Amino acid sequence: MAQETLLIKHADLLCTMEARPDAPYGEEITDGALFARGGVIEAVGKTADLPQTADRVIDMRGHVVIPGMVNTHHHMFQNLTRAVPAAQNAPLFGWLQTLYPIWCNIGPDHIYWSGALAMAELAMTGCTTSSDHLYLYPNGARLEDSFAAAEDIGLRFHGTRGSMSIGESKGGLPPDRLTEAEPAILADCQRLIETHHDANRYAMRRVALAPCSPFSVSMDLMRETAQMARSYGVGMHTHLAENVEDIDYSLATFGMRPGEYIEAVGWTGHDVWHAHCVQLNEGEINLFARTGTGIAHCPCSNMRWPVALRPSANVWMRGLKWGLGGWLGL
Ligand SMILES: [Zn+2]
């Protein structure tokens, strides 16, 4: 990383958000400044107390400076189909089944450009680190297409190698041509970790493993993915308990609630973060708390459901609390 220095000075307010006993939400510094070298913050404080020059100096009068936001769940390729009329006002499974046939046509360029658009939008709204859950690889698409977009935009990026292996012919939801054979999925996971994962502090590029959901891969793949992730020390991510259909599917297919299922396949712990988790019950919430399992809550996704399918306000508030914990704990 280049050792260029950066000075941000005269911010109306600089918020550190670093909790201390006397300041649970961190310091708020008026006439604040920040000095960084090679992309690493070396000091924050009053403008008068920090170095007065740097290779690049930005005057932030009239602005508030906060730490970069972190996006823990995204499907950047879906930027290309976010306004398809037939998918509007449909619950999750209907929404997916409307869009799957369109996603069959996605290729490397679509992954690159949807990723570049998503990351530009994120960067322009204060996000400096993002994950992306990419779980379909048709027509030669690869996770490298997302990495290229992240590098061009300049965002810190945790690309996740998602997967689907159970298509319609096996009783799953996606069309068969959007699925892959499980040995091929595992081989590509290993290739991506060994080629791209950077475990160093301040890394700009990390890899995590992320089967799409319990309803689109086998229990074996969930288990084997967890084993591989832990052998390399990379993160694990999937969708869980997103809505009532999810719970019904889990009970009918596995005879278990989602919390029991993920415990059975080894998907709890500090190295795991699950998306949504809107429908966890009290016991499952306790399981997540006990094991330090993270949640990316994604309330906007659920807000688009028809009114009749929305969870109760009580579940919302509880989910929001845990979602925030998962976010900050990532
Ligand atoms: Zn998702």
Mean pLDDT across 6-17: 96
Among residues 65, 84, 111, the one where a domain terminates is: 65
Amino acid at 284: E
Residues 112 and 57 in one domain: no
- Higher local confidence (pLDDT), 148 or 91: 148
- Ligand 1 centre distance from Cα of residue 39 (Å): 30
What would you report as the CA-atom Rg of the chain, rounded to the nearest whole angstrom? 21
Per-residue model confidence (pLDDT) at position 179: 97
- The pLDDT confidence band at residue 22, using thresholds 50, 70 and 90, is confident
Angle at 76 between CA 112 and CA 288, to 5 degrees: 135
174 and 37 within one domain? no
Neighbours of ion ligand 1 (CB under 5 A): 275
**221, 268: one domain:** yes
**CATH number of the domain to which 294 belongs:** 3.20.20.140
184 and 300 share a domain? yes
Q: Do 217 and 253 meet the contact criterion of CB atoms below 8 Å apart? A: no
Q: Name the domain boundary from 65, 88, 110.
A: 65
CATH of the domain at 59: 2.30.40.10
Query: 48 and 119 in one domain?
Result: no
Q: What does pLDDT average to over the chain?
A: 90
pLDDT digits (tens, 9 = 90+) for 176-208: 999 999 999 999 999 999 999 999 999 999 999
Same-domain check for residues 49 and 167? no
| Of 56, 42, 44, the residue nearest 6 (C-alpha) | 56
pLDDT tens string 264-313 = 999 999 999 999 999 999 999 999 999 999 999 888 887 775 544 444 44
Residues 31 and 179 in one domain: no
Residues 6+ apart with CB under 8 A from 27: 15, 16, 18, 20, 44
**How far does residue 296's CA lie from ligand 1's centre (Å)?**
9
Find the domain containing 39 and state its range: 5-65
Query: Ligand 1 centroid to 36 CA: how many Å?
Result: 34
Q: Are residues 39 and 99 in the same domain?
A: no
Structure tokens at 252: 């009918």
Domain tally, the chain: 2
- 59 in the same domain as 136: no
Whether 26 and 171 map to the same domain: the answer is no
What is the average per-residue pLDDT within 228-247?
A: 94
Residue 74 Cα to ligand 1 midpoint, Å, equals 6
